[in-house]
Amino acid sequence: MSTARERLKEALAILEVTAKKSLGQNFLVSDVVIQRIIDQVKDFKPEALIEVGPGPGALTYFLKQMNVPLQLIELDHVIAAYWRDQGLPVIEQDALQMDWSQFYSDKKLVFVSNLPYQISSSIVIERSLEDVGPEHMVLMFQKEVAQRIRGIARDDHYGLLSVIAQTFWKISMVTEAGARDFQPAPKVQSRVLAFSRIPTEVKNRKAFLTFVKCAFAQRRKLLKKNLTGVLNQKKITEEQLIGWLAELGFPETARAEELSPVQFVKLYQKFGFES
| Annotated binding-site members for S-adenosyl-L-methionine | 26, 28, 53, 74, 94, 114
Distance in angstroms between the alpha carbons of the first and the last residue of the chain: 58
Strand partners, 171: 195
CA dihedral 23, 91, 6, 58 (to 10 degrees): 80
Quickly count: other Cβ atoms within 10 Å of residue 89's Cβ: 11
- Give the CA distances from residue 1 to residues 4, 93, 97, in Å, rounded to whole numbers and listed in that order: 10, 32, 37
Strand residue runs (E) in the chain? 27-28, 48-52, 70-73, 90-91, 109-113, 136-142, 169-177, 182-183, 190-197
CA distance 136 to 44: 7
Within the chain, residue ranges assigned H as helices are 4-15, 31-43, 60-63, 77-84, 120-128, 143-149, 160-168, 205-215, 223-226, 228-233, 238-247, 261-270
CA distance 12 to 56: 7
CA distance 221 to 260: 17
In 3-state terms, what secondary structure has residue 271? coil
Q: Which residues are annotated as a binding site?
A: 26, 28, 53, 74, 94, 114
